[in-house]
Amino acid sequence: MTKSRRRTIRRTPPTRLARPASARPIASPAPRRAGDVNDAFFRYIVAGMRNGVLALTREGNLALINDEACRIFGIAPRRTDLGRPIGDVLRDHPEVVRLLNSVFELHLLPNRAELRLRPSGKVLGYTLALVGDDAGRVVGASMFFKDLTRVEQLEERERLRDRLAAVGEMAAAIAHEVKNPLAGIEVMAGLLRRRITDAPDAQSVLTDIISEAKMANAIVQEVLEFVRPIRLQVERTAVADAVQSAVQLADTKARRGDISVDVRVPRGLPLIHGDQYQLAQLFTNLLINAYEAMEGRGRITITVRTIRVDDGFEGRDAVVVELADRGPGMPPDVADRVFNPFFTTKPQGSGLGLAIVRKIVDAHDGSIDLETAPGRGTLIRVTLPVSGSEEGA
């Protein structure tokens, strides 16, 4: 008879969810043998995630939050926040608190949804999930999210480019048709002025006609320049050189008067991939705009520095140029529209100077910000990304 063999089967206990102690790495002994995973290991995983991770209990208390979530929400990571009501920890983000407090009443949890934070304007892409115990009871909820602000900006920029391309084609066609009659009016008025030298009144009228025709032609030329696609001649470029060229060029295009310009450029600025001519035009337009706003008196300070830009991905180095003037400043309704095409507060302006500035900045994959208030001057900040690791002298 064959003896029956008894085989012993070892049952592996089910993996337990890590106790929500902290998402930050803490000192802990390493696993003693293969497969022996302790709670700290799970905390290391959560802490190292490039997405924000947040969890709360059924009672609405914070159970877990990692460093990336703290960075996105702009709060300091503190162990003492664990166990506190989620509304207290995220009191500056009521829209997130409302979402998390309603998660247990939702029949269908959102997946790949988006949420905009106030007042920072950050755009979050998030997913919600319920947390269950071994018995299947819902004991909490989790939120996984990522800062999509940079992605949203790129998509909006593409949509804007598509709209401008369509408008640009139409504007270019109109501008070409208008340019030829304007040139004819100017030439014929000039011929007539030379023939009737004995009629001073007529001479004055014809001079005004020629002057207005030249002004209209200049506006048409600006329109053509604005709608024409920017084709960058990219090379390793020193932003400081473009700023210095702009200071000299602005003096030939606008009256500075008694305005002093203080340029502060440190040594060792990194070079960027850019178009030296287009960058010089960018800063020239900003200077001319400041000269006209300050009416020949005051001070302009141009500061150049490098920063690390947090774009929601790996981050990148950038060169920042800040142009600050002590002019009259702008009210909020003007500041919100100042970069829009054809918007101007000047009697004879085309409203394209700052629109062209923004177009050049976008072509360099940069950003431009404005800080101003009536009576407190204006600060314009241009941020240009750095590519490569070379450095200029």
| The pair of three-digit structure tokens given for residue 60, joined into one six-digit string | 């609405």
> Distance between CA atoms of 236 and 393, rounded to whole angstroms?
13
The answer to whether the beta carbons of residues 339 and 368 sit under 8 Å apart is yes
Summarize the confidence of residues 133-140 as an average pLDDT: 88
pLDDT of 14 higher than 70: no
The answer to whether the beta carbons of residues 45 and 67 sit under 8 Å apart is no
**Domain range 232-393, CATH class:** alpha beta
Q: What is the structure's pLDDT at 342? A: 72
Q: What is the structure's pLDDT at 33? A: 47
Most confident stretch, 39-43, 89-93, 107-111: 89-93
Q: Could you report how far apart the first and last alpha carbons of the chain are, in Å? A: 93
pLDDT of 66 higher than 70: yes
pLDDT of 218 higher than 60: yes
Mean confidence (pLDDT) of the chain:
80
pLDDT tens track for 177-215: 787 888 888 888 888 888 888 888 888 888 889 888 888
Contacts (Cβ under 8 Å, ≥6 apart) of 361: 282, 367, 368, 382, 384
- Which residue did the predictor score with more confidence, 354 or 56? 56
Q: Is this prediction's pTM over 0.85?
A: no
Per-residue confidence band for 320, with pLDDT thresholds at 50, 70 and 90: very high
Summarize the confidence of residues 128-151 as an average pLDDT: 87
Placement of tokens 């914070």 in the chain? 62
What does R_g of the chain's alpha carbons equal in angstroms?
Answer: 31
Summarize the confidence of residues 301-311 as an average pLDDT: 84
> Distance between CA atoms of 97 and 352, rounded to whole angstroms?
43
pLDDT of 142 higher than 50: yes
Q: What is the structure's pLDDT at 272? A: 92
Q: What is the structure's pLDDT at 84? A: 92
Summarize the confidence of residues 107-114 as an average pLDDT: 82
Q: So where are the chain's domains?
A: 39-147, 150-229, 232-393
- Which residue did the predictor score with more confidence, 311 or 352? 352
Weakest mean pLDDT among 63-72, 177-186, 208-217, 336-345: 336-345
> Distance between CA atoms of 233 and 32, rounded to whole angstroms?
60
Q: What is the structure's pLDDT at 18? A: 40
Weakest mean pLDDT among 144-153, 230-239, 375-384: 144-153
H-assigned helices in 228-263: 239-253
pLDDT tens track for 46-59: 777 778 999 999 99
- Which residue did the predictor score with more confidence, 330 or 151? 330
As its CATH architecture, domain 150-229 has: Orthogonal Bundle (1.10)
Q: Which CATH superfamily is domain 39-147 in?
A: PAS domain (3.30.450.20)
> Distance between CA atoms of 247 and 284, rounded to whole angstroms?
7
Per-residue confidence band for 278, with pLDDT thresholds at 50, 70 and 90: very high
Q: Which helix (H) or strand (E) holds 128?
A: strand 123-132
Cβ-based neighbour number of residue 199 at 10 Å: 12
Q: How many percent of the chain have pLDDT more than 90? A: 23
Summarize the confidence of residues 274-279 as an average pLDDT: 92
Per-residue confidence band for 315, with pLDDT thresholds at 50, 70 and 90: low
